[in-house]
């Protein structure tokens, strides 16, 4: 050990202060476990700093600006406004203020619960020893009983178009200094479309290049149709079945090849590459542990144990689904297992939400997934066009869909597309986790007028007696 190093002992050492890491640390400390959390950048991780939270802030600002623009020509509501303008720098400051408040809140919670937080970059020596380099301070070496990997993920970079200059990731896209004239989005998944739609509403011309033949390929087409229609209305140009070949010689356009092999160029002053994320497994000595891997991800069991005793892993570093709420649930569970509780990570369903316009939420099995599993199911859909609250929100596009077993009516899945349907995800998840049947949902009194009534009506329709359609 270096003579300038400081040796510290701790029971649980967490590498990574994102949603999974900080939740694990807080819960462990609550249970009386001596806990140290190592974070090299900002507490809150990708989700809080450069992902979930700032993107939703930007999306909200874009929606409000676009809404104001609609009122310049009057509206059915009787509202007329003068031509609106937007100060993008102020929008970014507002977004940053929300992030700062939340990261400050995380820091306060960690301190309140007695977690030792070390700002520095970790390097794993072995399964019990981690060295941390801090700027302007002596190197610290930690000896731990339990090591928890919560290092998250990072944006995938294209070999023929690396990040830099006008080629940006979601991180840069969330802090624009000004609106580009033309934003080209590489990747038609949820990250690319969420940000592409926001930029379009803020005034930029937007084009999307997707290698597959449709947008949002992870979602079924019944759900994505409404988003495709919205893109067309907004004027977002989509180039489907096309692959990006790289920048042209001048660097002001992207070379694109279609399915027939024909090449063309799309001029753009900003290129957002959003082709996915990969587990963050390099740069901190993880290879020294020689853990079993699942592709690029760390392999874990249903308790988030790795192949090495007392080394745990949670969240994006363990692969799909890369969702903050999955990481948080895993982190809480690991802390409780270390404290002696008997827990296993076996959720009945994990909600997935796409914050496009309109929003999409999927919880549990889709009709196609249930069919592929050999299950005989009932599927029923209730449209928002028949929902009173949706009418008052001027948001009648979309629907709620339920999937249930035909023999015992056990609910297997929910899907919805429409305005604010992300808020229905809690009800969807709860019904599946508690083993609800169609009769349970149909017999539960839902408040009127709410979008949630469409949940009840979908269940009633599956039973053959919908009342409002």
Confidence tier at 222 by pLDDT (50, 70, 90):
very high
Whether residue 375 sits in one domain with residue 443: yes
**Model pLDDT, residue 64:** 95
In this prediction, residue 4 carries a pLDDT of 54
Residue 150's CB is within 10 A of a number of other CB atoms, namely 33
- Confirm whether 207 is domain-assigned: yes
Q: In what order do the strands lie in the sheet with 399-405?
A: 352-354, 359-364, 411-418, 399-405, 377-383
Which DSSP state fits 305? B
User: What's the mean per-residue pLDDT of the chain?
Assistant: 95
Residue at 434 is within a domain: yes
Residues 244 and 256 in one domain: yes
Active site annotation includes 448: yes
Q: Are residues 283 and 267 in the same domain?
A: no
Q: Does 84 fall in a domain? A: no
Query: Do 321 and 436 lie in a common domain?
Result: no
Domain assignment present for residue 128? The answer is yes
- Find, among 22, 53, 50, 49, the residue nearest to 38 by Cα: 22
Q: Is 76 inside any structural domain?
A: no
Q: Is residue 122 part of a domain?
A: yes
CATH number at residue 362: 3.30.390.30
242-272 core/surface letters (b: 16 or more CB in 10 A; e: else)? bebeebeeeeebbbbeeeeeeeeebebebbb
Residues 368, 437: one domain? yes
Query: Pick from 275, 292, 323: which residue ends a domain?
Result: 275
271 in Cβ contact with 166 (< 8 Å): yes
* 280 contact partners, CB below 8 Å, separation of at least 6: 151, 152, 153, 154, 316, 317
Segment 28-69, tens digit of pLDDT: 999 999 999 999 999 999 999 999 999 999 999 999 999 998
How many domains is the chain partitioned into structurally?
A: 3
Residues 460, 439: contact at Cβ < 8 Å?
no
In a domain, 161, yes or no: no
Examine the domain organization and report whether 29 and 95 are in the same domain.
yes
Q: What is the CATH classification number for the domain harbouring 225?
A: 3.50.50.60
The verdict on 285 and 177 lying in the same domain is: no
Are 271 and 284 found together in one domain? no
* Span 182-194, pLDDT tens digits: 999 999 999 999 9
Does the pLDDT value for residue 107 go beyond 50? yes
282 and 425 fall within a common domain:
no
Q: Choose one of 275, 306, 324: the last residue of a domain.
A: 275
Work out the average pLDDT over 14-36. Answer: 98
> Are 225 and 261 members of one domain?
yes
Q: Point out the catalytic residue in the list 146, 448, 465, 468.
A: 448
Share above pLDDT 70 across residues of the chain, in percent, rounded to a whole number: 99
The residue range of the domain holding 290 is 6-58+89-153+278-338
- Tokens encoding 142: 């930690």
Q: Give the pair of three-digit tokens for residue 175.
A: 């802090």
Are residue 118 and residue 191 in the same domain, yes or no?
Answer: no
Q: What does the alpha-carbon distance between residue 237 and residue 255 come to, in Å, rounded to a whole number?
A: 16
- Pair (362, 410) in one structural domain: yes
- Taken in order 11, 15, 19, 22, the sign of the CA dihedral is positive
pTM metric for this prediction: 0.94
The reply to whether 74 falls in a domain is no
């Amino acid at each position: 050990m270096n003579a300038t190093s400081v040796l510290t002992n701790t029971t649980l050492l967490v590498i990574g202060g994102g949603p999974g890491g900080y939740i694990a640390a807080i819960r462990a400390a609550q249970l009386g476990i001596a806990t140290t959390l190592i974070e090299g950048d900002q507490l809150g991780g990708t989700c809080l700093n450069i992902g979930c939270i700032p993107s939703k802030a930007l999306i909200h600002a874009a929606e409000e600006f676009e809404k104001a623009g609609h009122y310049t020509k009057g509206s059915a509501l009787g509202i007329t406004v003068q031509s609106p303008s937007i100060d993008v720098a102020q929008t970014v400051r507002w977004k940053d203020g929300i992030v700062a408040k939340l990261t400050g809140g995380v820091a306060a919670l960690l301190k309140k619960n007695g977690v030792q937080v070390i700002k520095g970059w970790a390097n794993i020596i072995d399964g019990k020893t981690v060295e941390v380099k801090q700027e302007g301070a002596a190197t610290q070496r930690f000896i731990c009983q339990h090591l928890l990997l919560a290092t998250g993920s990072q944006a995938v970079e294209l070999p023929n178009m690396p990040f830099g200059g006008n080629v940006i990731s979601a991180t840069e896209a969330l802090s624009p200094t000004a609106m580009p004239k033309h934003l080209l989005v590489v990747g038609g998944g949820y990250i690319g479309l969420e940000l592409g739609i926001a930029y379009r509403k803020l005034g930029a011309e937007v084009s999307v290049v997707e290698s597959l033949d449709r947008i949002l390929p992870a979602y079924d087409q019944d759900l994505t149709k409404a988003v495709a229609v919205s893109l067309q209305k907004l004027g977002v140009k989509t180039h489907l079945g096309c692959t990006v070949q790289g920048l042209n010689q001048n660097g002001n356009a992207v070379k694109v090849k279609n399915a027939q092999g024909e090449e063309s160029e799309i001029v753009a002053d900003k290129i957002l590459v959003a082709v996915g994320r990969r587990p963050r497994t390099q740069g901190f000595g993880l290879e020294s542990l020689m853990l079993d891997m699942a592709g690029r991800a760390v392999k874990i069991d249903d308790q988030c144990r790795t192949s090495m005793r007392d080394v745990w892993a949670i969240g994006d570093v363990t692969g799909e689904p890369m969702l903050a709420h999955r990481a948080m649930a895993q982190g809480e569970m690991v802390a409780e297992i270390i404290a002696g509780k008997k827990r296993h990570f076996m959720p009945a369903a994990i909600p997935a939400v796409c914050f496009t316009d309109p929003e999409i939420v999927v919880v549990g099995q889709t009709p196609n997934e249930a069919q592929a599993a050999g299950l005989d199911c009932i599927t029923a859909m209730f449209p928002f066009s028949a929902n009173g609250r949706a009418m008052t929100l001027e948001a009648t596009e979309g629907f709620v869909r339920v999937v249930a077993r035909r023999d015992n009516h056990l609910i297997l899945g929910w899907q919805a597309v429409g305005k604010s349907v992300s808020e229905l995800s809690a009800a969807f998840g709860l019904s599946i986790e508690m083993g609800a049947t169609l009769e349970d949902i149909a017999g539960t009194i839902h408040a009127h007028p709410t979008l949630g009534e469409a949940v009840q009506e979908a269940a009633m329709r599956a039973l053959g007696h919908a009342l409002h359609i």
